[in-house]
Chain A
Amino acid sequence: MDIFFQQIINGLVQGSVYALVALGYTMVYGILGLINFAHGEVVMIGAMIALTVLQSLLAAAFAPVLAVLLSLMAAVAVCMALGYSIERIAYRPLRNAPRLAPLITAIGVSIVLQNLAMMIWGREYHSFNLPFASTSHHLGGAVMNDVQIVIVIVALVIMAGLMWLVHQTRTGRAMRAVAENPAAATLMGVDINRVISVTFMLGSALAAIAGFMVSANYGIVHYYMGFMLGLKAFTAAVLGGIGNLRGAMLGGVLLGLIESLGAGYIGDLTGGFLGSHYQDVFAFFVLIAVLVFRPSGLLGEKLAERA
């Protein structure tokens, strides 16, 4: 039973990160019908920027809390600029092109970002240590440390904020209008290009925060970390019903739980034939199963009809 609770906690923490990244995919998909393949790399760039800024601020003897906040803000700012530029350079000129075209430029952007990161930060794993100790709390037989608690809480707050933004503000209404019917939204005076840019920047900001969280949780940063994370977050978005914000959150948390429980028990289930190193396979099986049996996802509507 202890293992069970421990895996639930791990799943929740990881799921919160997936949910934040999945929101980025789902917002862009909802508005443009485009899979922003480069989104995972934005997460990675966010983590790398945060690491670099954090280290230099600490070296300059800033107060630890201030350094952490400033590095997070730097990562968010850089990623927002990055998200904006990606859309301007790689997607906007192709908005009327066949659907394959932006998908391929997205792959191109992803490769470019990955290799730029490799040139700047090198191939090695960097350790990402927060400048204060994280105490562990024992809940029953399971352990949860401060960082993990903060991750879950921050993720919840951000998601609540996003829901507020989308459903209560003028910008949010414009976003929903564009997602619903771009032509009609234009006629109503909505500046589509501005809305799309805002969407990309919002998604990238969430990605930066997620990048910070995942690095703080695992304590390492690597130029290749964005790829798998991005794929899984996309899976989470599909699981919840892509284009649906609540779906992305639900899908993220569920995928985190499925993965950690699956990795924890696969050995027992298969009599030791398959071990926990198959963890990465779960996400893909979930993805394939969802697409085959319920392509609209858990909370989505009628998505299979989409051209």
Chain B
Amino acid sequence: MKLHRSSGHLTLALALLALPFIIDALFGHGWVRIADFALLYIMLALGLNIVVGYAGLLDLGYIAFFAVGAYTYALLGSPQFGLHWPMYVVLPLGALIACGFGVLLGAPTLKLRGDYLAIVTLGFGEIIRIFLNNLNAPVNITNGPQGISAIDPLQIGGFSFGSSYEWMGMRVDDVHLHYYLFLAFTLLVIFVSRRLEDSRIGRAWVAIREDEVAASAMGINTRNIKLLAFAMGATFGGISGGLFAGFQGFVSPESFSLMESIMVLCMVVLGGMGNVGGVVLGGVLLVALPELFRNAAGPVQQMLLGKVVVDPESLRMLMFGLALILVMLWRPAGLWPSTQRRREFDADDSVLHQEQETVYDASK
């Protein structure tokens, strides 16, 4: 049995290692890049999963932490200020600053209930974006809407992830290298998430999600534990932001719109809140499907109707919105829910029915 499991893990590991080359051979270089982005998004989604999935706090401005991480990396590793700090300093620093912002936002707002928190975080996300957009005058810090370009590639010592290497007769490109780097980070985040889930803290989060009053009666310091969820989510966001900046070589406020927050939220919700596997699935689906769609929508329309009637980009967003509605209506716990959540949603005992009455009680 044990052998069975470890051989399964070995197969998975080999598959993950070989994946970029398989993708490259089958679909071409561009798709390896998309796989890189998928990994970044999965990291983001896993970070948000801590806040939304475990602790049940709806955060609609999550992308702001991603932005903070990305801009930290961009400002400290680009010609903007002439600073070229190394990655192993800037990445943790970005994570730390993002964490600080998380606490800053969380401390005053976490006493608010669900939907208020959603709006405040949304507002916070917009504030960050507006500041990034406008902090180019009178003192130029962020370079405004133009963004910051020529950002240093991710590199450790003399080894740069941004260049190509010839290795044992095989050409390894920057997209492949980034894939492995991001994969390592993603696995780390998955590992941390899984361990947190089973820890005292993770159980405290779930307890708060289920019933805050009961949780605090059990001796959980709900405010601190919620703050911890916020800080932890923000930290993951900050790390992936730094990686994003180094990978792209360019950041601008446009990349951190509300739409991005919603996209990451969709990954968590559609995949299955609170379940690491579900969130990963959500991330893969929501990066891959829209890309497929973007590539397919134009030609298919061309074929069927003889011309491109609808802009594929807006068609993509439309599908996105529809998917959100339909999944919520038919599988409210997501495509691959955590076992606990599924139990909650499927349960049909009278106690639960009483609990669900609270939608009305709440509006009193």
Contact = CB atoms under 8 A, between A and B. Distances in A.
Interface residues of B, number: 53
Contact of B115 (A35, A235, A274): A35
A118 B320 CA distance: 15
Interface stretch (B117-125, B221-229, B230-238): B117-125
A238 B258 CA distance: 21
Given A277-B134, A281-B130, A111 B317 contact: yes
A66 interface: no
Given A115-B318, A115-B321, A307 B130 contact: no
Interface stretch (B20-28, B36-44, B69-77, B352-360): B352-360
B163 interface: no
A278 interface: yes
Contacts of A115: 314-315, 317-318, 321
B217 to A, nearest CB: 15
B348 interface: no
Contacts of B315: 115, 119
A285 B126 CA distance: 11
Interface string B87-127: 00000000000000000000011011111101110111011
A107 B127 contact: no
B330 to A, nearest CB: 9
B347 to A, nearest CB: 12
B363 A33 contact: yes
A58 interface: no
Contacts of B118: 35, 103
Interface stretch (A72-80, A128-136, A287-295): A287-295
A107 B364 contact: no
A288 to B, nearest CB: 6
Q: Which residue, B116, B311, B321, has most C-beta atoms of chain A within 10 A?
A: B321
A306 B113 contact: yes
A291 B134 contact: no
The main secondary structure of chain A at its interface with chain B is helix
Interface in B310-346: 310-311, 314-315, 317-318, 320-325, 328-329, 332
A284 interface: yes
Contacts of A102: 328
B52 to A, nearest CB: 8
Interface string A92-106: 011111111111110
A90 B325 contact: yes
Given A110-B321, A115-B318, A275-B137, A105 B358 contact: no
Nearest to A289: B108
A70 to B, nearest CB: 30
A105 B124 contact: no
A280 interface: yes
Q: Which residue, A90, A108, A182, A277, has most C-beta atoms of chain B within 10 A?
A: A108
Interface in A169-216: 179-183
A44 B123 CA distance: 20
Nearest to A234: B119
A116 B332 contact: no
Contact of A306 (B137, B258, B311, B362): B362
A307 B113 contact: yes
Interface residues of A, number: 63
B262 A107 contact: yes
A111 B258 CA distance: 11
Given A182-B360, A278-B134, A307-B358, A108 B113 contact: no
A284 B317 contact: no
A115 B273 CA distance: 26
B82 to A, nearest CB: 23
A119 B134 contact: no
A101 B363 contact: no
Interface string A30-56: 111111000000000000000000000
A287 B120 contact: yes
A273 interface: yes
B56 to A, nearest CB: 8
Contact of A119 (B109, B318, B320): B318
B360 A183 contact: yes
B116 A105 contact: no
A108 B322 contact: yes
A281 B113 contact: no
A112 interface: yes
Nearest to B323: A108
Contacts of A295: 112, 116
A112 B318 contact: yes
B198 interface: no
11 contacts: A29-B363, A31-B363, A33-B359, A96-B357, A108-B328, A115-B314, A116-B318, A180-B364, A277-B130, A277-B134, A281-B126
Given A90-B329, A94-B329, 12 more contacts: A100-B52, A104-B265, A109-B321, A115-B321, A179-B363, A181-B360, A231-B119, A273-B138, A280-B126, A288-B109, A288-B120, A295-B112
Q: Which 9 A-B pairs have the closest CB atoms?
A: A111-B321, A108-B324, A33-B363, A284-B123, A112-B321, A108-B325, A115-B318, A182-B360, A33-B362
Interface of A: 29-35, 89-90, 93-105, 107-112, 114-116, 118-119, 179-183, 227, 231, 234-235, 238, 243, 272-275, 277-278, 280-281, 283-285, 287-288, 291-292, 295, 304, 306-307
